[in-house]
């Protein structure tokens, strides 16, 4: 997308559409007022006629307003005078939905919406994200014959206001990362396998700023990654740990690690899941997808930070050689694990990747991202991702980034008091903690492989995709991860 900054008067602006706002008291923004004046009261007449009242995200598209150079005017309601982040996102979504398929240039006059919390920079970034997000469509496995005619899309955005070019470019890069994560998440599980994901990393490495290496299942077995292998071995698709290294700050600066769960399909294994909605377990690699998306954004922005993106990927299948409840395996750390439920596989592939990553790269911080527990989804729904950490600095950084990017998190407990729920009679720990506090006991399990390193865990079971008629991956938490890392 092309971006342009303009200070010309709204009525004189050549564009396919100009977007202006009014609030719920019917008060026009300065830009809307300028258009009203130039058109001899055309806008005010529509408000008096009750065509639009100014409620949050209400829209009215007016073609061919006389006295206005733009081909159309889009009136958008901004609701209460002091716009909050959730309302802001609705407003931008409505704007992008209405204008996102128009040809030409879309001009945006949104400065009336700026307030202390939501700065002009913030609005610019979120606007670019909203347009980028609206442009996403999954077509990869749709039959060519039904393909609709290629939709047109705006050639560019014209921002009426201060020079917010950097924010627009950042928003564009985040949207590209989000859309990449959505695309990987939505891919069917017969295509999106651990090997295919490794191939995606290889394609990202066309950019020389990214260095990619892959550990395959055989190597991992020889290394002693018994927890990882216990999950991967039941599938004919070989498991992989994928490592993407972006060193924008040089090798002497600290490196930060993000690690994504990449179960490309989770049947539950021998502890087989019930059939209903089982197709959605293709989304069990959305943590991995968010790591890919974040790396994609970083490659577009090229910030001066060092980031290792790791993906731990396998398919969880029942098979003659699959793990059984009661099996005891030795993890890469040397700690033994009694597998009481083969459906608690995410923590098994994550724990060996944590050990490997911390050992090899000595990261200054680690954040893992995983569709880890139904319990987290039950607790937080589709609104917040679960945040678990004992590191207050990391908690603060992630919460700040989440709030800024509208990619919300809610902190859940990770106290030592819960650790005993993982006690096992036959190994150093069990892989499940019983029926209570399921999201926390999963985090407790992971914590045992991160000792001494600042670490946080994001459980995205409820936020990574939506079900129902609009079934699809959300691309979360790419916006959160990008903003967190850019703060490093
Ligand atoms: N991938 C699932 C978690 C999940 C389930 C995410 C549904 C989103 C929607 C994970 O591997 C899993 O099966 N977890 C179990 C753990 C249990 C066996 C302790 C769960 O949450 O039921
Ligand atoms: Mn599972
Ligand atoms: Zn899973």
- The whole-number pLDDT of residue 151 equals 66
Q: Helix, strand or coil for residue 77? A: strand
Nearest CA to ligand 1 atom 7: 374
The reply to whether the predicted model has a pTM over 0.85 is yes
pLDDT tens readout for residues 229-249: 999 999 999 999 999 999 999
Count of Cβ atoms closer than 10 Å to residue 420 Cβ: 10
Q: Which residue is it, tokens 């006059």?
A: 109
Count of Cβ atoms closer than 10 Å to residue 163 Cβ: 12
Q: Is the pLDDT of residue 147 over 70?
A: no
Token pair of 304 as six digits:
């001066």
Dihedral angle sign, alpha carbons of residues 433, 437, 439, 441? negative
Contacts of 388 (CB under 8 A, 6+ apart): 411, 412, 413, 414, 439, 440, 443, 456, 457, 458, 459
Question: From its phi and psi, is residue 80 left (phi > 0), alpha (psi between -120 and 50) or beta?
Answer: beta
Q: What mean pLDDT comes out for the span 190-216?
A: 98
Q: What mean pLDDT comes out for the span 139-147?
A: 79
pLDDT band, residue 177 (cuts 50/70/90) = very high
Residues in contact with ligand 1 (CB, 6 Å cut-off):
266, 284, 341, 343-346, 371-375, 377, 432, 438, 461
Average pLDDT of the residues of the chain = 97
- The whole-number pLDDT of residue 153 equals 81
Reported as half-sphere exposure (CB side, CA atoms, 13 A), residue 261 has a value of 32
Question: Is residue 297 a contact partner of residue 313, using CB atoms and an 8 Å limit?
Answer: no
Q: Which fold has domain 2-160?
A: 3.40.220
- The whole-number pLDDT of residue 145 equals 61
- The whole-number pLDDT of residue 28 equals 97
- The whole-number pLDDT of residue 419 equals 98
d(CA 211, CA 208): 7
Q: Is the pLDDT of residue 94 over 60?
A: yes
Domain boundaries, the chain: 2-160, 174-486
pLDDT band, residue 65 (cuts 50/70/90) = confident
Domain 174-486 has CATH 2.30.40.10: no
- The whole-number pLDDT of residue 146 equals 58
Residues with CB in 5 Å of ion ligand 3 = 263, 266, 284, 346
């Amino acid at each position: 997308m092309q971006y342009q900054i303009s200070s010309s008067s709204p009525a004189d602006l050549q564009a396919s559409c100009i977007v202006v706002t009014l609030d719920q008291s019917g008060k026009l923004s300065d830009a809307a007022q300028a258009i009203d004046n130039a058109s001899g009261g055309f806008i005010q007449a529509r408000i008096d006629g009750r065509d639009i009242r100014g409620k949050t995200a209400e829209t009215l598209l007016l073609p061919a307003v006389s006295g206005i150079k733009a081909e159309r005017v889009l009136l958008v309601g901004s609701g209460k005078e002091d716009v909050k982040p959730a309302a802001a996102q609705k407003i931008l979504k409505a704007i992008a939905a209405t204008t996102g398929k128009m040809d030409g240039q879309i001009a945006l006059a949104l400065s009336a919406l700026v307030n202390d919390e939501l700065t002009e920079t913030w609005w610019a970034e979120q606007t670019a994200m909203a347009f980028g997000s609206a442009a996403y469509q999954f077509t990869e496995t749709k039959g060519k014959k039904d393909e609709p005619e290629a939709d047109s899309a705006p050639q560019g955005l014209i921002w009426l206001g201060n020079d917010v070019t950097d924010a627009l470019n950042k928003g564009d890069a985040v949207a590209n990362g989000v859309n990449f994560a959505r695309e990987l998440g939505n891919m069917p599980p017969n295509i999106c396998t651990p090997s295919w994901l490794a191939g995606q990393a290889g394609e990202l490495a066309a950019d020389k700023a990214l260095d990619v290496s892959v550990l395959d299942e055989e190597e991992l077995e020889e290394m002693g990654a018994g927890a990882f292998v216990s999950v991967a071995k039941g599938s004919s698709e070989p498991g992989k740990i994928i490592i993407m290294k972006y060193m924008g700050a040089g090798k002497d600066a600290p490196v930060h690690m993000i690690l994504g769960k990449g179960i490309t399909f989770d049947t539950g294994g021998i502890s087989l899941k019930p059939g209903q909605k089982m197709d959605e377990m293709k989304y069990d690699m959305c943590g991995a997808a968010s790591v890919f998306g974040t790396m994609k954004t970083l490659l577009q922005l090229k910030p001066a930070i060092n980031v290792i993106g790791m993906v731990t990927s396998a398919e969880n299948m029942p098979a003659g050689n699959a793990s059984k409840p009661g099996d005891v395996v030795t993890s890469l750390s040397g700690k033994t694990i009694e597998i009481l439920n083969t459906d608690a596989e995410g923590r098994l592939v994550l724990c060996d990747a944590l050990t490997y990553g911390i050992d090899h790269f000595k990261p200054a911080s680690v954040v893992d991202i995983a569709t880890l527990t139904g319990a987290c989804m039950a607790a937080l729904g589709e609104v917040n991702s679960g945040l678990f950490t004992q590191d207050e600095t990391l908690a603060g950084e992630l919460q700040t980034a989440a709030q800024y990017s509208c990619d919300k998190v809610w902190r859940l407990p990770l106290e030592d008091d819960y650790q005993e729920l993982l006690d096992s009679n036959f190994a150093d720990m069990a892989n499940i903690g019983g029926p209570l506090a399921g999201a926390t006991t999963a985090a407790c399990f992971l914590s045992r492989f991160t000792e001494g390193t600042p670490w946080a865990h994001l459980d995205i079971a409820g936020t990574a995709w939506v079900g129902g008629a609009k079934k699809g991956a959300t691309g979360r938490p790419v916006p959160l991860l990008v903003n967190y890392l850019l703060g490093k």
